[in-house]
Amino acid sequence: MKTLLHPTYFPNIATFAVIVQKDFLWEAHDNFQKQTYRNRSYVSTDQGKYMLTIPIKHVGAREGRQKYRDVEIDDSSNWRKQHWRTLETAYRTSPFFEFYEDDIKPLFFEPEHLLFDLNLKTIHTIGACLGIKIAHEKNNSFEKNPDMFKDLRNLVKAKKSQNIKIVEYSQVFEERNGFIGNLSVLDLLFNEGTNALEYLKNQSLDFLNA
């Protein structure tokens, strides 16, 4: 049975472990919801856990709910440059930042106007860095309780992931902040590099049954 997932912005480690280990497809017909990983991601800085948020264009109340796949990115602020500068400052001294810099940096400076499409692009780019191909398949319609798929769409909820335990690895600011779990897969990639794929393959998915 295939797994049903939301594409998110540089997904957290738990979600990417599912991507690596499971046969899955993307949810492409749901409504956008606030305070989820659809437009946010967490990294580690010298000050601790830090949230990167993509600003979006909100539709008026008259138009009702907005489909996730139709949500437009709001580029009235220079968020792309700010996100990249945050990553540079946080990870420049990590073992593998320079190794992957040329792969990741273009994502912040190439025009992509739809949130859904940008998120897929971040995921496929990480897949290329890991040396794996990421599925393109999407569902055909929205189902609240799907029978044909294992529903893991709740991984998109930011609060849900806070209780997920993952295997510790070395982090840049670990001596200062302690280990911070389940950050963006970028944190794993910049710190573990070529070991990241094996880490994701071996990460326990017990949290799926919690």
Token pair of 108 as six digits: 């912040």
Token pair of 127 as six digits: 């897949």
Q: How confident is the model at residue 208 (pLDDT cuts 50, 70, 90)?
A: confident
* Residues 141-194 pLDDT 10s: 777 877 788 888 889 998 766 678 899 999 999 999 999 999 999 999 999 999
Maximum alpha-carbon separation in the chain? 51
Asked if pLDDT for residue 210 goes beyond 60, the answer is no
Instruction: Report pLDDT for 101.
Output: 98
Average confidence (pLDDT) over 118-141? 93
- What residues contact 137, with CB distance under 8 A and at least 6 apart? 25, 26
* Residues 14-24 pLDDT 10s: 999 999 999 99
Picking from 169, 66, 166, 69, the residue whose alpha carbon sits closest to that of residue 114 is: 69
Average confidence (pLDDT) over 24-47? 93
* Residues 37-83 pLDDT 10s: 999 999 999 999 999 999 999 876 545 578 999 999 999 999 999 99
Instruction: Report pLDDT for 64.
Output: 56
Q: How far is CA 191 from the centre of its chain?
A: 16
Picking from 54, 59, 162, the residue whose alpha carbon sits closest to that of residue 116 is: 54
Q: Which residue has the higher pLDDT, 114 or 159?
A: 114
pTM of structure:
0.93
Picking from 122, 142, 146, the residue whose alpha carbon sits closest to that of residue 134 is: 122
Asked if pLDDT for residue 111 goes beyond 90, the answer is no
Q: 175 near 28, Cβ under 8 Å?
A: no
